[in-house]
């Protein structure tokens, strides 16, 4: 089945982890034997061959370079010009993968339709379609960069990541949307971009929904009712997103899947339901809360700065998303529901956003 993955940090892995994603996951792991400079070394899960095995024909692929404080280990820079330069380098990598027929950009309705036709005809050799998204807006030196980025193919944007951003506060902070953030959303509205509410501080989330008039999604989020953390969506937030016809992509970062996780200490095998079955509980919760599965999708966030040390216990590579489909089928999701969750809901959002 076609899978739409709403969040993959492909360029981060290619440039900051120095991974050749044309190789298989086992080959990449072997090349990282003995390395310990970054989290997830030697146990990555994402590469183009395994994406194909999972049926991932379309993904939302990120540009990621922030200036927020406190800084994290990757994707963080000391000035907006440095961060902007990094996103331009990441964009150059995407262009290189286009030239090699590994990836195909999707920027409008026509390109979406064309890609789906090509993928349905031959998913073994067709390029993987990608929609370009910016995770955290810190790299925008001024709002003039936003229009330039749109011309380069940017179609979605999440104003915040972690910490204190230049335009918005991350989920680990507390506070309202800044004046700069409001200007940013106004420019996004004018361009017709998709607002990704992932990582927004809760007060900022509510301000953004009030200010922004365009299409919205939550690319990689799970449920606070199951794992009580500000990074998760509350039931009230889920209901508000459904009212906006948004789609929520469930994430495979396992600390977001099951309660009781201690970073750097807990292993996926230590806790019951720290697996794909536990992730299915989040799909169930959203679907049951809303009385429909029309707002649920997949946004794996795999290799988003971690590897199998922080993924579901029964997932070795992203190809194991096939097992997740089997689990959902076992819970009574029929073919129509499974199709909607795996790709249909996000595709429907795009078709409405790009009319």
pLDDT tens digit string along 179-218? 999 999 999 999 999 999 999 999 999 999 999 999 999 9
pLDDT score, position 71: 82
The Cα angle at residue 120 between residues 115 and 126, in degrees rounded to 5: 60
Question: What are 314-347's pLDDT values in tens digits?
Answer: 999 999 999 999 999 999 999 999 999 999 999 9
Question: What are 144-160's pLDDT values in tens digits?
Answer: 999 999 999 999 999 99
pLDDT score, position 355: 83
Q: Does pLDDT of 98 surpass 80?
A: yes
Confidence class of residue 163 from pLDDT cuts 50, 70 and 90?
A: very high
Q: Does pLDDT of 118 surpass 90?
A: yes
pLDDT score, position 310: 97
What integer is the mean pLDDT of 301-317? 98
Q: What percent of the chain has pLDDT over 90?
A: 97
Q: How far apart are CA 55 and CA 124, in angstroms?
A: 9
Q: What is the CATH number of domain 3-353?
A: 3.20.20.140
Confidence class of residue 72 from pLDDT cuts 50, 70 and 90?
A: confident
> Is the distance from CB of 57 to CB of 65 less than 8 angstroms?
no
Chain centroid, CA 139 distance in Å: 18
pLDDT score, position 74: 82
Torsion of the alpha carbons at 241, 351, 9 and 178, rounded to the nearest 10: -50
pTM above 0.95, yes or no: yes
Which CA distances in Å does 343 have to 77, 202, 233?
34, 27, 21
Instruction: Answer with the residue of higher pLDDT: 270 or 263.
Output: 270
Confidence class of residue 73 from pLDDT cuts 50, 70 and 90?
A: confident
The number of residues making up the chain comes to: 355
Q: Where are the beta strands (DSSP E) in the chain?
A: 3-8, 56-63, 103-105, 128-135, 154-158, 194-196, 216-217, 248-250, 296-298
Tokens (6 digits) for 347: 């595709």
Q: How far apart are CA 192 and CA 173, in angstroms?
A: 28
Cis peptide before 77, with omega less than 30 degrees from 0?
no
DSSP 213: -
| Residues in contact with 182: Cβ distance below 8 Å, sequence separation at least 6, in sequence order | 207, 211
pLDDT score, position 75: 84
Q: How far apart are CA 193 and CA 53, in angstroms?
A: 30
| Residues in contact with 262: Cβ distance below 8 Å, sequence separation at least 6, in sequence order | none
pLDDT score, position 70: 80
pLDDT score, position 264: 87
Q: What percent of the chain has pLDDT over 70?
A: 100
Give 195's Cβ-side CA count (13 Å radius).
30
Tokens (6 digits) for 285: 């919760």
Burial degree of 240 (CB within 10 A; 0-12, 13-18, 19+): middle
What integer is the mean pLDDT of 246-273? 96
* Domain chopping of the chain, boundaries: 3-353
Cis peptide before 90, with omega less than 30 degrees from 0?
no
pLDDT score, position 68: 87
pLDDT score, position 218: 98
Angle formed by the axes of helices 276-290 and 321-330, nearest 10°: 50
pLDDT score, position 123: 93
Closest CA to 17 of 34, 1, 41: 41
What integer is the mean pLDDT of 85-92? 98
Q: Does pLDDT of 224 surpass 90?
A: yes
Q: How far apart are CA 331 and CA 200, in angstroms?
A: 32
Q: How far apart are CA 226 and CA 71, in angstroms?
A: 28
Q: How far apart are CA 288 and CA 94, in angstroms?
A: 38
pLDDT score, position 20: 98
């Amino acid at each position: 089945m076609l899978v739409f993955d709403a969040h993959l940090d492909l360029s981060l892995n290619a440039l900051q982890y120095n991974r050749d994603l044309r190789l298989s996951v086992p080959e990449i792991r072997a090349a990282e034997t003995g390395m310990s400079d970054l989290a997830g070394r030697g146990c990555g899960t994402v590469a183009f061959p395994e994406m194909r095995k999972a049926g991932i024909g379309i993904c939302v692929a990120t540009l990621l370079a922030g200036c927020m404080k406190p800084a994290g280990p990757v994707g963080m820079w000391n000035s907006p010009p440095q961060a902007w330069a990094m996103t331009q380098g990441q964009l150059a990598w995407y262009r290189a993968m286009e030239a090699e027929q590994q990836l195909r950009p999707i920027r409008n309705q026509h390109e979406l339709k064309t890609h789906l036709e090509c993928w349905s005809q031959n998913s073994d050799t067709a390029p993987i379609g990608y929609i370009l998204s910016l995770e955290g807006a810190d790299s925008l030196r001024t709002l003039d960069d936003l229009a330039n980025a749109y011309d380069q193919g940017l179609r979605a944007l999440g104003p915040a990541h972690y910490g204190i951003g230049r335009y918005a506060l991350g989920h680990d902070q507390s506070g309202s949307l800044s004046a700069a953030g409001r200007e940013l959303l106004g420019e996004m509205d004018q361009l017709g971009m998709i607002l990704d509410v992932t990582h927004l501080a809760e007060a900022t989330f509510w301000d953004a929904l009030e200010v922004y008039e365009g299409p919205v999604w939550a690319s990689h989020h799970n449920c606070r009712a199951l794992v009580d953390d500000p990074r998760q969506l509350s039931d009230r937030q889920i209901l508000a997103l459904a009212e906006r016809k948004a789609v929520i992509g469930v994430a495979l970062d396992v600390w977001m899947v099951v309660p009781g996780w201690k970073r750097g200490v807990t292993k996926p095998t230590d806790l019951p339901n720290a697996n794909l079955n536990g992730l299915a509980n989040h799909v169930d919760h959203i679907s049951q809360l809303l009385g429909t599965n029309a707002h649920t999708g997949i946004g794996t966030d795999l290799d988003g700065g971690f590897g199998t040390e922080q993924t579901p216990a029964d997932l070795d590579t992203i190809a194991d998303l096939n097992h997740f489909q089997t689990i959902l089928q076992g819970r009574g999701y029929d073919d129509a529901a499974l199709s909607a969750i795996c790709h249909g809901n996000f595709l429907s959002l795009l078709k409405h956003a790009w009319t």
